Amino acid sequence: MRTFELGLVFGTTIGVGAGILLAMAIAWYIMYRKKRFDRSHDTEKVCPRADNHPIRIHGSDSSTILSDSNHSRDSPRTSEWSNMPQWLEGLRRKSVASACGIPKYSYKELQKATRNFTTNIGEGAFGPVYKAQITTGQTVAVKVLATDSKQGAMEFLTEVLLLGRLHHRNLVNLMGYCAERGLHMLVYVYMSNGSLASHLYNEKPEPLTWNLRVQIALDVARGLEYLHYGAVPPVVHRDIKSSNILLDHFMKARVADFGISRQEKSALHSSSDIKGTFGYVDPEYISTSIFTKKSDVYSFGVLLFELMSGKNAQKNLMEYVEFVALGVEDNEGWEEIADPRLEGKFDVQQLNFMGGLAYNCVNPVSRKRPSMRKIVLALSEIRKPRNSETYQVITEETTFELDLQGTFDSSLTER
């Protein structure tokens, strides 16, 4: 009998203890779920889900949701994200915090800042650009993407997600975005001196001095070097051209328009859809459909020839370059390409050096083109005061000389 009583007490104790532990586990789980809900709710306050603000691409009757996070993983996605490249999908999931770090403006705010969209200062690839003054008093540029452009919508998403994590003094900073009333709008730092193209081809402004052209080339090279080696993962721009290089109040250059930019890994995949601008596109990219860092280098080489000659890359510039190259010997003779507006006010040796550098950049074989790191080193060297006729450039791999009166050293190329 006593044994029975002890067993009953022992069993009751174990049962009560198990019940208490089960109750504690249930209470802990409820608190955990509540905290998760509160955290999610707080996040939405900082960065509201885009399903509250649909991006309308084809008018008021159809819309594309910026985020499909409200769908379950098993449910089929019906938004524009379903046709999104895999690299962008991965970036979207991994960079939510970065994207949310970019301020979101309301349509009414930007309507007021642009005086009801009457302050047009230019036309971008996918819509008009307006000058605006936001409530802080800062002057900005508002880029409005066409409402009927599916490609424009994808580029909008690309720029927001990419520029949320790219920060460099030679890249145009994204200050905010708006996705309301069927419009996609991007808010950038205002670049008061416009595009490089407007200075090279417009007869009204004073022509750019030679020293300023060298500085602009170096600014652009540094921006590209950051994209190729500073960004994680690396990014290829895919549309380097004079109209995508903007100049601030101090004539410092910044790279703009990242709508067709890609992470390097995704750009290495073959695609039949060739992107870029005629006159700047790497011929190897056209033949292989594979875009690499060296494709950006090719476009930069074309840009260098633009700076030297003042000629439009879309008007047979490279044919002219090849004609002049026939008369170049021992890296001399590139002065033939010099912009007439310079009126001979340039350093001949510097121009010959830049011509040789640019010609290496547009080598038809991509592996023979220099990397952006080496280009930055070379352009930095050309800006230094010269005490001799030979520039020395030190790299982590080797030391090579850029003899401005001799042959351009092939060690600039990357094997």
How does pLDDT run across 283-334, given as a tens digit for each residue?
999 898 888 999 999 999 999 999 999 999 999 999 999 999 999 988 889 9
pLDDT category at 184 given cuts 50, 70, 90 is: confident
**Topology given in CATH for the domain delimited by 80-189:** Phosphorylase Kinase; domain 1 (3.30.200)
Q: What is the pLDDT of residue 145?
A: 80
pLDDT category at 71 given cuts 50, 70, 90 is: very low
- How would DSSP label each residue in 197-221? HHHHH-SSSPPPPHHHHHHHHHHHH
**Region 167-172 average pLDDT:** 93
Look up tokens 């650009």; give the residue: 129
* Domains of the chain by residue range: 80-189, 196-412
Q: Which residue among the candidates 239, 257, 282, 339 is catalytic per the annotation?
A: 239
DSSP state of 55: B
CATH class, range 196-412: mainly alpha
Lowest mean pLDDT among 41-45, 129-133, 351-355, 380-384: 41-45
Lowest mean pLDDT among 30-34, 109-113, 288-292, 386-390: 386-390
Lookup: tokens for 71 = 């769908």
Residue 277 has pLDDT above 80, yes or no: yes
Q: pTM, whole model, 2 decimals?
A: 0.70
Q: What is the pLDDT of residue 140?
A: 95
Q: What is the pLDDT of residues 117-134, one digit of tens each?
A: 999 988 776 678 999 999
248 part of the active site: no
Q: Residue 334 in contact with residue 352, Cβ under 8 Å? A: yes
**Region 30-41 average pLDDT:** 60
